Amino acid sequence: MIAYSSSDIANFVVHLEVGKAGEQAEAGEEWSTFIKEHPYPFYSPASFIRLGLFFLTVFMVLLVFIFLWLLAGSSGSDSTLGMLLLITGVFSMLASEYFAQKRKHFQSGIDEALHCCIVVLYPASAYLFFNFPGWLIFLSGAATATWLYLRFLSALQAGVAVTCLFFSISLSAVYVMPAFVYALPVGMLAAALYHLLKIHISRVPVVYLQGTLMVRYCLLIAAIFYSNFTCVSMANGFELVDSFISVTYKVTTFLFPVLLLIYGIARKDIVPVHVATVSVLFAFYTAYLFTGASQPFVWLTVCGGAVIIVCVMLMKWLRTSRRGFVYRNTKDDETQKWLEILISANAPQTKSPAADVFGGGDFGGGGASGNF
């Protein structure tokens, strides 16, 4: 199922648990001992090179497409372009398999760029070559992204899959297609996750940690867009004034951030807190549009002032830990924590002596086994 070997994933899981200790200069000897025992299996460069490789790869795929197009006699017909997109898509898929399996690229920029190209190229060819309707094009994008996510463990693909799915539901399906059509990518995701959970019950949640985090962010941000009256009305190009839906949207626009914030604080979960903060900004913007656009600078000044006051108050209030949250630069604390984890991970494995137990038989009998 997954493109990477189980031993690679096992080492990857250990690295995920240890976190960013490799970046800590203080780790020293402990880190070198650790890395000998658990070599990092993948090529996953830092963010700058990842970004550079991403754009370069997209650029190269584009050049391959142009090259094929020139070979095809610069034809402008839909079927030729669709076929070329399909060929480029297949090429991208083969390249991504090569980079994942042979070169062990994982979130290196190259694999992600190729995946993004695949997600775009297949639906584009579905539109031009196979002449699929709109909902099926979005759906094919969602299905492709979901498949790539499950195969390559990519958090980016999880985001793409959810986004595709959301847009396919909100933009066309609401009016055109019944909801059961979307069972395909959701079913694929569920079946594959179940399959993976059965095989690597302890590994999968950790491996998919980044992916699930991305999915949560995407889902919550999608919920903001969906609950935000202004965004929805602008996206659909009409105003839902004086209707039941309008009131519902208005209520959810302002209620959603508050509920999310309460939920995040109650569950001590940072993701809803982040999303609630973003949705507060959306709600401010919506409120500004509701009141009319005549005084934008008054709104900006008032909102800015309110944000400053709230932040300063929160900074003071959170000097000591409150409800599981605190205002403190934890960079030094984290370094110390990871150092402790590293030291404990590298500590000699002392086998604790077995406690004295009576008996010894596994299945009853003389000696009164403690097991059965």
Going 229 to 235 to 238 to 244, the CA torsion angle's sign is: negative
Q: Does 67 bind another protein (CB under 8 A)?
A: yes
Q: Does 78 bind another protein (CB under 8 A)?
A: no
What is the smallest separation between the CB atom of 251 and another protein, expressed in angstroms?
A: 25
Contact 222, 214 (CB under 8 A): no
Nearest to 18 by CA among 333, 342, 346, 332: 342
What is the smallest separation between the CB atom of 318 and another protein, expressed in angstroms?
A: 6
What is the smallest separation between the CB atom of 110 and another protein, expressed in angstroms?
A: 8
- The site string for another protein over 273-312 (x = CB under 8 A, - otherwise) reads xx--x---x--------------xxxxxxxxxxxxx-xxx
d(CA 73, CA 88): 16
Residue whose CB is less far from another protein, 12 or 249: 12
Q: Does 207 bind another protein (CB under 8 A)?
A: no
CA–CA distance from 319 to each of 54, 262, 289, 313, 331 (Å)?
41, 20, 36, 10, 16
Among residues 174, 183, 191, 326, which is the contact residue for another protein, using CB under 8 A? 326
User: Total residues contacting another protein (rule CB under 8 A)?
Assistant: 60
d(CA 157, CA 2): 14
What is the smallest separation between the CB atom of 206 and another protein, expressed in angstroms?
A: 10
Beta bridge partners of 370: none
d(CA 321, CA 324): 6
3-state SS track over 59-72: HHHHHHHHHHHHHC
What is the smallest separation between the CB atom of 61 and another protein, expressed in angstroms?
A: 10
Among residues 262, 340, 370, 371, which is the contact residue for another protein, using CB under 8 A? 340
Residue whose CB is less far from another protein, 190 or 306: 306
d(CA 138, CA 133): 9
Give the H/E segment covering residue 236.
helix 229-236
Residues near another protein, by CB under 8 A: 17, 45-46, 48-49, 52-53, 56-57, 59-60, 63-64, 66-67, 70, 110, 268, 270, 273-274, 277, 281, 296-308, 310-312, 314-315, 318, 321, 324-330, 333, 337, 340-341, 344-345, 347, 349-350, 352
